[in-house]
Amino acid sequence: MDVNAAVAAAAAIAGVLTGVIAMLAFRWSERDQKRPTRTSLHTDPVLPPGVDTVLSVLRSSAVVLDEADAVVKASSAAYALGLVRGGKLAVEPMMQMARDTRRDGEIRQVELDLPRRGTGRGEALAVSARVAPLGSRLVLLLVEDLTEARRIEAVRRDFVANVSHELKTPVGALSLLSEAVMDASDDPEAVERFAGRMQIEATRLTNLVQELIDLSRVQNDDPLEDAEPVRVDELVAEAIDRCRHQAGTKQITMAAGGTADLSIWGNRGQLAAALGNLVENAVNYSPARTRVGIAARRVTAPGGDLIEIAVTDQGIGISEKDRERVFERFYRVDPARSRQTGGTGLGLAIVKHVAASHGGEVTVWSSEGQGSTFTLRLPEAAAARDRGIDHDMPGLDDEDENGQPDGTTTVTSPYEPLPAPEVLP
């Protein structure tokens, strides 16, 4: 009896101990599950409050790195630039900057040239990278694309260099001629000859300064603030009248057709200057006793009717390699002839900007030895007024390192070129 009681008591005690141990094990397991592990701290970092919102509105590319150099947050611009690939920062110099900043807490900034993704031309992407600590464990990397700013600065630098060169030529000539006049003060015939040359150089200098002013104006002004319907026949008549003397001197016939009942919506002064430049070029680059034709027509386009004005000459023509650059500032197909005619190399650049700011374009067809056709394509007055013109055209201010505008195209002219001039005795 006593033995049985002792066995029962021992069994009861063992059961109680087993239950206590099981309960303790359950509590321990539960607490262990709630405790953050090293892995969870590493893979699920938390951004400080408000940082995510701030990064989403920044124009710069933003990347947030944790203590293991893994990307916690990256903006879409960072992916577009190729900074982040496979969840990792792909630019080693930036990665090293982030590690150095994490170690000492210093803010660092550097400018880098990175290979551009998706192109095989070796073009560099210029960026400015800035790294700063973000809290105790995170690092913030901000990257700004400087490529466009550098390109514009290069274009501006080249433009200033070209202007300086072009101004230096007539100014230097005037200086030399004035010395020659002083030395020949006792020779009336020489004085008269040198004075005539001085007048030519002074005229060239005046034309250059005026065209620089015109180019600056068409680039900076909004031509549609004072827009009005402009009759094409009036523009053509003004352009012909402007070149009548030069054409008469070279016995060049100027003919116009198809301009009646057509109107363009825009700034009359700028449109007259653009068409006048095209006609003047045609006359200057045409041989004597040839013909310059000006034709206009209405063409149907998806956004509304367009007016095409084509200026065709029987001049020297433009080679294929030159055709792609004729709209660059200061570019001349034949520099020697430009000096003779007083050309500045800015006329077609002005035409290009006027066309683009009016919602249109200018194109060229040419064949060496047969002549050229420059075509202005602009919105018709009624269609432009009804729908409004988006004169902030892509490519208006976008130029390459040579000043060549993006979007300037060379196409086959829709007009029949004039026949090649006959060889006259």
Tens digits of residue pLDDT in 309-321: 999 998 888 888 7
Mean pLDDT in residue range 372-383: 86
pLDDT range class, residue 24, cuts 50, 70, 90: low
Half-sphere exposure of 161 (CA within 13 A, CB side): 8
Look at residue 398 and tell me whether its pLDDT is greater than 50.
no
Q: What is the pLDDT of residue 171?
A: 84
pLDDT digits (tens, 9 = 90+) for 267-310: 888 899 899 989 988 998 888 999 999 999 999 888 788 999 99
Q: Helix, strand, coil shares of the chain as percentages rounded to 5?
A: 45, 20, 35
Q: What is the pLDDT of residue 16?
A: 59
- 325 with 371: CB under 8 angstroms? no
Farthest-apart Cα atoms in the chain, separation: 159
Look at residue 15 and tell me whether its pLDDT is greater than 70.
no
First to last CA, the chain: 152
Q: Does domain 48-145 have CATH number 3.30.450.20?
A: yes
Mean pLDDT in residue range 18-31: 57
- 212 with 204: CB under 8 angstroms? no
- Cβ-proximal residues to 287 (8 Å cutoff; 6+ apart), any chain: 250, 314, 315, 316, 421
Could you tell me the two tokens for 319?
């080679």
CATH class of domain segment(s) 223-425: alpha beta
Q: Tell me 94's DSSP state.
A: H
Say what the pTM is.
0.53
Pairing between β-strand 371-379 and β-strand 361-367 as defined by DSSP bridges? antiparallel
User: d(Cα 111, Cα 143) in Å, to the nearest integer?
Assistant: 9
Could you tell me the two tokens for 245?
């003397």
Give backbone dihedrals phi and psi of 301, rounded to 5 degrees, phi first.
-135, 155
Q: Which CATH number fits domain 148-220: 2.60.40.420, 1.10.287.130, 3.40.50.1970, 3.40.50.460?
A: 1.10.287.130
User: d(Cα 76, Cα 85) in Å, to the nearest integer?
Assistant: 12
pLDDT range class, residue 29, cuts 50, 70, 90: low
Q: What is the pLDDT of residue 378?
A: 92
Mean pLDDT in residue range 14-26: 59
- Cβ-proximal residues to 373 (8 Å cutoff; 6+ apart), any chain: 310, 311, 312, 313, 364, 365, 366, 413, 415, 417
Kindly list the domain boundaries of the chain, sorted by start residue: 48-145, 148-220, 223-425
Q: How many CB atoms lie within 10 A of CB 33?
A: 8
What's the one-letter identity of residue 100? D
pLDDT range class, residue 20, cuts 50, 70, 90: low
Pairing between β-strand 263-266 and β-strand 228-231 as defined by DSSP bridges? antiparallel
